[in-house]
């Protein structure tokens, strides 16, 4: 798509106080986020490229670990996850991509994740989403965010150069595969994920494209064209079960789809972690906690303003934001436990309803 992974990070000799940056960003939950100096961002991007290129394009992780879905520049959801689930010194984290675009604070989200990764490289992990791509974030807001905040595109170029070295996948406890999008007809063996060469952009087709763009569907058999997005494929339950069995895996965890926090359609679990998405949708922020035995705790966080917002939408005579079907009737914090057995069955009494987003490219 546009770039080939060779954008350069401006060289800086400035060394920021990483700990203070983390503190300042956490304190921004009480006020508007600080303006992060461009030189600090250049330093973070230089360091993060080195850290990511020294690791594999396919991460091997172990529980206990928190798995987080799409953030889309919603800094306060990210902060709330850390505050609810624990600081990275207390538990490990895996983020499934789509950190930027549509939300106001993509720069701050990335800076916090990069600072934490530099400070705690063994505790913070993230993989690439379809919006970690120059073409996509030109269209959906991140490039414009950088231009408004810094007056030029040097900061944006620096961030894009880090996107091009992100890992694409992870396996937790040798059993749970995590990607942003899903499977690909070009992906037969899990070892293929270890041989991805970086830096690289996301192409228009092929395995790398499908890893960040494909969708799961219970009604699909095999691989079919992804008409909804106009790119990549949709894959069905049978093809997923076959892939998992052949690679000695039990479950796929993915982001990419707009769902009400968590959607469980075993053996596939989708996560979305940007609550009250775009200020329009009455959805929860969902995360998963996976322990050493592959027991999964589902945590849903609801914005405390949902009740007031719902009342406001009901009174909206023009109906521009009125979506009655998206109202939530959940407590502020909801937890549920799901046990992933070798048979890939779910023991669960309730599942949050999934929702569809009408935009073509989420």
pTM (2 d.p.) = 0.84
Token pair 């206990």 is found at 64
72, 125, 131, 180: which one is catalytic? 131
* Residue 221 confidence (pLDDT): 85
* CA 61 distance to own-chain centroid: 17
DSSP bridge partners of 223: 235
* Residue 345 confidence (pLDDT): 32
176-225 confidence digits (pLDDT tens): 999 999 999 999 999 999 999 999 999 999 999 999 999 999 998 899 99
Distance CA 234, CA 217 (A): 7
Distance CA 138, CA 136 (A): 5
- Could you give the C-alpha distances from 186 to 73, 206, 236, 254, in angstroms and in order? 31, 7, 15, 18
Find all residues with CB under 8 Å of 30, minimum gap 6, and list them.
none
Q: What are phi and psi of 156, to 5 degrees?
A: -60, -45
Is 131 catalytic? The answer is yes
Distance CA 309, CA 288 (A): 26
Q: Which CATH number fits domain 18-304+314-339: 3.50.50.60, 3.30.870.10, 3.40.50.300, 3.60.21.10?
A: 3.60.21.10
* Residue 303 confidence (pLDDT): 62
* Residue 347 confidence (pLDDT): 31
Ranges of residues in the chain with a pLDDT under 70 are 1-8, 30, 303-362
Residue 65 exposure: Cα atoms within 13 Å on the Cβ side = 25
123-149 confidence digits (pLDDT tens): 999 999 999 999 999 999 999 999 999
* Residue 354 confidence (pLDDT): 33
- Could you give the C-alpha distances from 237 to 64, 92, 208, 214, 311, in angstroms and in order? 27, 30, 21, 13, 39
Preceding amide of 40 cis, omega within 30? no
């Amino acid at each position: 798509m546009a770039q080939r992974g060779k954008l350069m990070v401006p060289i800086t000799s400035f060394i920021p106080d990483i700990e203070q940056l983390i503190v300042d960003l956490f304190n921004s939950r009480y006020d508007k986020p600080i303006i992060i100096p461009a030189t600090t961002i250049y330093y973070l991007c230089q360091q993060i490229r080195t850290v990511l290129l020294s690791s594999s394009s396919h991460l091997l992780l172990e529980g206990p670990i928190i798995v987080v879905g799409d953030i889309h520049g919603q800094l306060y959801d990210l902060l709330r996850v850390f505050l609810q689930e624990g600081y990275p010194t207390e538990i490990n984290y895996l983020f499934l991509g789509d950190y930027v675009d549509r939300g106001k604070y993509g720069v701050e989200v990335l800076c916090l994740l990069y600072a934490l990764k530099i400070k705690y490289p063994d505790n913070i992990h993230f993989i690439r989403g379809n919006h970690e791509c120059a073409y996509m974030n030109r269209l959906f807001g991140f490039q414009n965010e950088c231009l408004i905040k810094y007056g030029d595109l040097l900061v944006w170029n620096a961030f894009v150069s880090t996107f091009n070295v992100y890992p694409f996948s992870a396996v937790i406890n040798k059993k749970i595969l995590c990607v942003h999008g899903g499977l690909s007809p070009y992906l037969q063996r899990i070892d293929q994920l270890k041989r991805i060469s970086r830096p690289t952009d996301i192409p228009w087709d092929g395995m790398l494209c499908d890893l960040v763009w494909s969708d799961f569907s219970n009604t699909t058999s095999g691989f079919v064209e992804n008409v909804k997005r106009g790119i990549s494929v949709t894959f069905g339950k049978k093809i997923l079960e076959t892939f998992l069995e052949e690679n000695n895996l039990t479950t796929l965890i993915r982001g990419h789809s707009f769902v009400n926090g968590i959607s469980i359609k075993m053996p596939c679990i989708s996560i979305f972690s940007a609550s009250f998405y775009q200020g329009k949708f009455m959805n929860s922020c969902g995360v998963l906690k996976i322990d050493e035995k592959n027991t999964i705790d589902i945590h849903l966080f609801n914005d405390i303003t949902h009740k007031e917002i719902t009342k406001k939408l009901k009174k909206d005579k023009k109906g521009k934001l009125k979506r009655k079907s998206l109202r939530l009737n959940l407590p502020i914090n909801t937890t549920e436990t799901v046990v992933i057995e070798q048979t890939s069955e779910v023991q669960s009494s309730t599942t949050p309803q999934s929702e569809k987003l009408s935009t073509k490219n989420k």
